[in-house]
Chain A
Amino acid sequence: MKNAPDTEFSRRKFIEGSGAAIVAAKATSVTAQERAEESGHQTAVEDVPRTPITLTVNGSERRIEAEDRWTLAELLRDHLGLTGTRIGCNRGECGACTVLLDGEPAYSCSTLAVWADGRSVQTVEGLEKNGQVTKLQQAFIDYNAPQCGFCTAGQLMSATALLQRNPTPTAQQIREALAGNLCRCSNYNAIVEAVQAAAATGGA
Chain B
Amino acid sequence: MAVDPMDTIGRNFPRVDAYERVTGKATYTRDIKLPGMLYARILRSTVPHAMIRRIDTSKAEALPGVRAVITHKTHKIVYGSGSISGGRQYSDAHKDITTRLRYTFNEHVRYVGEPVAAVAAVNRHIAEEALQLIEIEYDALPFVLEPENARKPGAPEIWPGGNIAHDSENRQQAIGSRRGNLEAGFAAADQIFEDRYTTQFVQDAQMEPRSALAHWEGEKLILQTPTQGVSNCRHDMARDLGLEDHQVQVICQYMGGGFGDKNGNYYFDLIAAALAKDLGVPVMVELSRKDDWLGTHGRWPTVQDFKVGVKNDGTLTAIQLQALSGMGPYLRRSGNISGMDVYACENTERSILPVHTNRMVSGNFRAPTYPQGYFALQSMLDDVAYKVGVDPVQFALKNMVRPTESIQFTNYALDQCIEQGAELFDWANRWKPVPGSGEGPIKRGAGMAFMMFNARVGASSAILRVNSAGRYTVYVGVTDIGPGAKTTMSLLAAETLGVPLSAVDIVWGDSDRCPYSVGESGSRTTTMTGYAVVEAARDLKRQIAEHGMPTGEDVLVASATPAPTTGNKLREGFGAHFAEVEVDTHLGHVRVTKYLTVHESGRILNPLPANDQIRGAVLQGIGQALHEDLLYDSNNGHPLTSGYYWARHLTHLDAPVIENTFIETDDGFGPYGAKTVGESGIIIAPAAVANAVFNAIGHRMKELPITCAKILEVVA
Residues of A within 8 A of B (CB): 1-2, 4, 38, 40-42, 44-46, 48, 67, 69, 77, 82-91, 93-94, 96, 123-125, 127-128, 133, 137, 140-153, 156, 174-176, 178-192
Contact yes or no, B122 A42, CB < 8 A? yes
Contact of B207 among A44, A67, A96, A124 (CB under 8 A): A96
- Asked if B439 is an interface residue, CB under 8 A from chain A, the answer is no
For the A-B complex with A149-B254, A187-B615 known, give 18 more contacts whose Cβ atoms are closer than 8 Å.
A38-B123, A83-B27, A85-B24, A94-B289, A137-B23, A144-B15, A144-B18, A144-B609, A144-B612, A145-B22, A147-B257, A148-B208, A179-B653, A183-B616, A185-B257, A187-B612, A189-B655, A190-B612
CB under 8 Å from chain A, chain B span 284-312: 288-289
List the A side residues contacting B64 at CB < 8 Å: 42, 44-46
Contact yes or no, A93 B483, CB < 8 A? no
Q: B interface, by DSSP: helix, strand, loop or mixed? A: loop
Interface segment among B42-50, B333-341, B640-648: the answer is: B640-648
Contact yes or no, B616 A2, CB < 8 A? no
Between B209, B484, B643, B654, the greatest number of chain A beta carbons within 10 A of the residue's beta carbon is seen for: B209
Closest CB of chain B to A116's CB: distance in Å? Answer: 18
Whether A182 contacts B651 in the complex (CB less than 8 A), given A77-B31, A142-B14, A148-B255, comes out as yes
Contact yes or no, B608 A144, CB < 8 A? yes
A192: nearest chain-B partner, CB-CB:
B652
- Asked if B242 is an interface residue, CB under 8 A from chain A, the answer is no
Contact yes or no, A42 B65, CB < 8 A? yes
List the A side residues contacting B19 at CB < 8 Å: 133, 141
Write out, one digit per residue, whether chain B residues 11-22 have a CB within 8 A of any chain A CB (1) or not (0).
Answer: 000110011111
Contact yes or no, A184 B657, CB < 8 A? no
List the B side residues contacting A87 at CB < 8 Å: 30, 209
Contact yes or no, A93 B122, CB < 8 A? no
A91: nearest chain-B partner, CB-CB:
B289
Contact yes or no, B616 A1, CB < 8 A? no
Contact yes or no, B122 A179, CB < 8 A? no
Closest CB of chain B to A62's CB: distance in Å? Answer: 17
Contact yes or no, A146 B18, CB < 8 A? yes
Contact of A2 among B20, B207, B645 (CB under 8 A): B645
List the A side residues contacting B15 at CB < 8 Å: 141, 144, 146
Whether A127 contacts B650 in the complex (CB less than 8 A), given A90-B288, A150-B208, A186-B620, comes out as no
Q: A104 to B208: give the CA distance in the assembly, Å.
A: 24
Q: Can you name 21 A-B pairs with beta carbons within 8 Å? A: A38-B122, A88-B256, A90-B209, A93-B289, A94-B289, A128-B23, A142-B14, A144-B612, A150-B208, A150-B256, A175-B653, A182-B644, A182-B649, A182-B650, A184-B649, A185-B207, A185-B616, A186-B617, A186-B620, A188-B619, A189-B657
Contact of A124 among B24, B36, B615 (CB under 8 A): B24
Write out, one digit per residue, whether chain B residues 207-224 have a CB within 8 A of any chain A CB (1) or not (0).
Answer: 111000000000000000
List the A side residues contacting B105 at CB < 8 Å: none
- Asked if B171 is an interface residue, CB under 8 A from chain A, the answer is no
Contact yes or no, B616 A181, CB < 8 A? no
A150: nearest chain-B partner, CB-CB:
B256
Q: A140 to B612: give the CA distance in the assembly, Å.
A: 13
List the A side residues contacting B289 at CB < 8 Å: 88-91, 93-94
Between A91, A152, A186, A188, the greatest number of chain B beta carbons within 10 A of the residue's beta carbon is seen for: A186
- Asked if B574 is an interface residue, CB under 8 A from chain A, the answer is no
- Asked if B152 is an interface residue, CB under 8 A from chain A, the answer is no
Whether A184 contacts B609 in the complex (CB less than 8 A), given A46-B64, A124-B24, A150-B208, comes out as no
List the A side residues contacting B21 at CB < 8 Å: 146, 149, 152
Q: A90 to B612: give the CA distance in the assembly, Å.
A: 28
- Asked if B26 is an interface residue, CB under 8 A from chain A, the answer is yes
Whether A141 contacts B14 in the complex (CB less than 8 A), given A83-B24, A152-B21, A188-B619, comes out as yes
Task: Kindly list the 6 A-B residue pairs having the minimum CB-CB distance in the complex, ordered from nearest.
Answer: A84-B24, A150-B256, A186-B619, A149-B21, A188-B655, A83-B31
- Asked if B268 is an interface residue, CB under 8 A from chain A, the answer is no
Contact yes or no, A86 B22, CB < 8 A? no
Closest CB of chain B to A143's CB: distance in Å? Answer: 8
List the B side residues contacting A143 at CB < 8 Å: 608
Contact yes or no, A186 B616, CB < 8 A? yes
- Asked if B623 is an interface residue, CB under 8 A from chain A, the answer is yes
Q: A113 to B652: give the CA distance in the assembly, Å.
A: 28
Q: A180 to B649: give the CA distance in the assembly, Å.
A: 11
Closest CB of chain B to A91's CB: distance in Å? Answer: 6
List the B side residues contacting A44 at CB < 8 Å: 64
Q: A156 to B24: give the CA distance in the assembly, Å.
A: 10
A138: nearest chain-B partner, CB-CB:
B22
Contact yes or no, B256 A127, CB < 8 A? no
Write out, one digit per residue, whether chain B residues 231-260 have a CB within 8 A of any chain A CB (1) or not (0).
Answer: 000000000000000000000001111110
Closest CB of chain A to B711's CB: distance in Å? Answer: 16
B206: nearest chain-A partner, CB-CB:
A184
Closest CB of chain A to B196's CB: distance in Å? Answer: 29
Contact yes or no, A150 B616, CB < 8 A? no
Contact yes or no, B652 A41, CB < 8 A? no
B27: nearest chain-A partner, CB-CB:
A83
Contact yes or no, B36 A41, CB < 8 A? yes
List the B side residues contacting A140 at CB < 8 Å: 18, 22
Closest CB of chain A to B353's CB: distance in Å? Answer: 31
List the A side residues contacting B126 at CB < 8 Å: 45-46
List the A side residues contacting B623 at CB < 8 Å: 186
List the B side residues contacting A125 at CB < 8 Å: 23-24
- Asked if B658 is an interface residue, CB under 8 A from chain A, the answer is yes
Contact yes or no, A148 B481, CB < 8 A? yes
- Asked if B25 is an interface residue, CB under 8 A from chain A, the answer is yes
Closest CB of chain A to B27's CB: distance in Å? Answer: 7
Between A88, A123, A137, A184, the greatest number of chain B beta carbons within 10 A of the residue's beta carbon is seen for: A184
List the B side residues contacting A175 at CB < 8 Å: 652-653, 655
Closest CB of chain B to A9's CB: distance in Å? Answer: 16
